[in-house]
Structure 1
Amino acid sequence: MAYDFAPLFRSAIGFDRLAQLVDTAAQNPVSPSYPPYNIEKLSDARYVLTMAVAGFGPDDIELTVQDNTLIVAGRVAENTQDREMLHRGIATRAFERRFVLADHVVVEKADMTNGLLRIAVRQIVPEALKPRRIPISSGQVMGMEDAQPAPDSVAAPAMAAQPAACGCAA
């Protein structure tokens, strides 16, 4: 199932990943329910993902971040050679859960206590993406020499420090 985001893209800039996220969600309509988890918002930029992983130890769980996706996988080696199970109510089956992370979201740390895996996540907004006020001047015509280089440009300041190559006096 494909969606047409053309009307949205006419008035929005930078939402290219939205189409990818919706397509991914539409392709996987049935999400697994094991293990159960909570996502808690601690502040505007901090979150905690808590997963109930009874029967798993820290060595049985692998956390991976790849392409803005947090992958939590758990695998327990079956050791039922000497045991006869009359009832198995604690699930220790292998699992893999995927969580899509927004841009500039980093996984800070993870710990496990009392069968709960807690993963701390934080959104870090780069300085270049924070709002900044642009001063407006009046009565002056702006030419190319008045234009300021972009803050990410490294080559522009180095060229400005060199004398002009045209041979004119500065």
Structure 2
Amino acid sequence: MTKHTLGSYPHMLGFEQLERLLERTAKSGNEGYPPFNIEQTSDHSYRITLAVAGFREEDLSITVEDRQLVIRGRQHDDSADRVFLHRGIAARQFQRSFVLADGVEVGEAAMENGLLHVDLTRARPETVVQTIRIKKG
């Protein structure tokens, strides 16, 4: 079976960066924790919602690194002075990554009822028509 790349399609010029983004996304290793939703809130805006019950705002960090939204969580384990008869809620850390398209900007982030909401907006693309002059040879 032959692996096709975007470069193997003659009409797809200059999409090498997109191909690298797709490969990076496939290798990001996002596991299933924490669960999340992505919803479209308007024609040009989105909201990512992560279920982060047990995390405080100071336990979470949100960064944009090389067109990639990275959300990290690290709970402080304060169980040293506590005795658990059953421990089903573990303090665990996570990292979730989302690759952002050109023009997508991260807006506000808010915590509400154990959910972290991160709002994204996409700039409306300008319609550009360019006429190329043909030189006489």
TM range (shorter): 0.7 to 0.9
Structure 1: gaps spanning 5 or more residues: 136-140, 144-170
The runs of 4+ residues in structure 1 deviating greater than 4 Å are none
Confirm or deny: 8 A CA contact 2:7 2:15 kept in the other structure: no
Identical counterparts, % of pairs: 39
Task: Look up the match of 1:46.
Answer: 45
- 2:37·2:48 contact (CA, 8 Å) conserved in 1? yes
Q: Look up the match of 2:56.
A: 57
Q: What displacement does 1:134 show?
A: 5.7
User: In 1, distance between residues paired with 2:75 and 2:67?
Assistant: 26
Looking at CA atoms only, which structure, 1 or 2, has the larger radius of gyration? 1
Partner of 1:130: 126
2:28 aligned with 1:32, yes or no? no
Name the structure with the higher strand share. Answer: 2
- Secondary structure of 1:42's aligned partner: strand
1:17 alignment counterpart: 17
Partner amino acid, structure 2, of 1:17: Q
Query: Which consecutive residues of structure 2, in runs of 5 or more, have no partner in the other structure?
Result: none
Distance across 1 between alignment mates of 2:22 and 2:117: 27
Amino acid at match of 1:81: A
C-alpha displacement at 1:53, in angstroms? 0.3
Equivalent residues, number: 133
Cα contact 2:30–2:95 (8 A) shared by 1: no
Shift of 1:120: 0.3
The alignment yields a C-alpha RMSD, in angstroms, of: 2.5
Q: TM-score, normalised by structure 2?
A: 0.83
RCO higher in structure (CA 8 A, sep ≥6)? 2
